[in-house]
Amino acid sequence: MRKTAVRVLLTLSLVCLLSFSALAAPVVLEYWTIFTGPDGATMQELVDQFNKERAGEIEVRMSIMPGGNFYESILTAVISGRAPDVAIMHMDRLPEFASQGILLELDAYVDELGLVGEDYIEPVWNGGIIDGKRYSIPLDAHPLVMYWNKDIFEAAGLDPEAPPMDRESFIEVTKLLTQDTDGDGVIDQWGTQLSVGWPNFQYWYSILFQNDGELFNEDNTQAIFNNEAGVDALQYLTDLIYVHKVSPANVQVDADVEAFKRGEVAIEFNGIWMLAGYQDHPGLNFGAGMIPQWGTERKAVWAGSHQFIIPRQRSVDRAKVNASLEFIAWIGNHSLEWGRGGQLPAKLSVLNSEEFRSDPHLGSIAEAAPYVAFPHTFFLQYGEATGPAWDAINKAFLGLMTPQEALDEAVELSNRVLKQ
* Residue ranges that bind other proteins, judged by CB under 8 A: 36-37, 40, 44, 62-69, 71-73, 75-80, 82, 100-102, 196-197, 250-255, 257-259, 262, 384, 391-392, 394-395, 398, 400, 413, 416-417, 419-420
The helix/strand/coil state of 297 is coil
CB of 416 to other proteins, least distance (A): 4
* Residues 141, 369 contacting (CB under 8 angstroms): yes
Residue 287 C-beta: closest distance to other proteins, Å: 22
In contact, 252 and 115? CB cutoff 8 Å = no
Beta carbon of residue 361, minimum distance to other proteins (angstroms, whole number): 21
User: At closest approach, how far in Å is the CB of 407 from other proteins?
Assistant: 13
Integer Cα distance of 264 and 65 in angstroms = 32
Q: Which is nearer to other proteins, 82 or 298 (CB)?
A: 82
Closer residue to other proteins in complex, CB, 97/356: 97
Among residues 252 and 352, whose Cβ is nearest to other proteins? 252
Closest contact distance (angstroms) between CB of 344 and other proteins is: 23
| C-alpha to C-alpha distance for 300 and 268, rounded to whole angstroms | 17
CB closer to other proteins out of 7 and 416:
416
For other proteins, the closer of residues 4 and 420 by Cβ is 420
Cβ proximity to other proteins: between 80 and 352 the closer is: 80
CB of 346 to other proteins, least distance (A): 25
Q: Residue 283: name the closest of 255, 256, 263, 267 by CA.
A: 263
| 8 A C-beta contact, residue 218 and residue 377 | no
Report the C-alpha gap between 48 and 53 in whole angstroms: 9
Q: How far is the CB of 281 from other proteins (least distance, A)?
A: 9
Q: Which of 29, 34, 101, 31 is nearest to 69 (CA)?
A: 34
Query: Cβ closer to other proteins: 36 or 235?
Result: 36
Question: How many other C-beta atoms can be found within 10 angstroms of the C-beta atom of residue 317?
Answer: 13
Cβ at position 42, least distance to other proteins in Å: 14
CA atoms within a 13 Å half-sphere pointing along the CA-CB vector of 135: 25
Residue closer to other proteins (CB basis): 122 or 408: 408
Residue 180: what are its φ and ψ, rounded to 5°? -105, 90
How far apart are alpha carbons 367 and 290 in whole angstroms? 7
Burial grade of 35 (CB within 10 A; 0-12, 13-18, 19 or more): buried
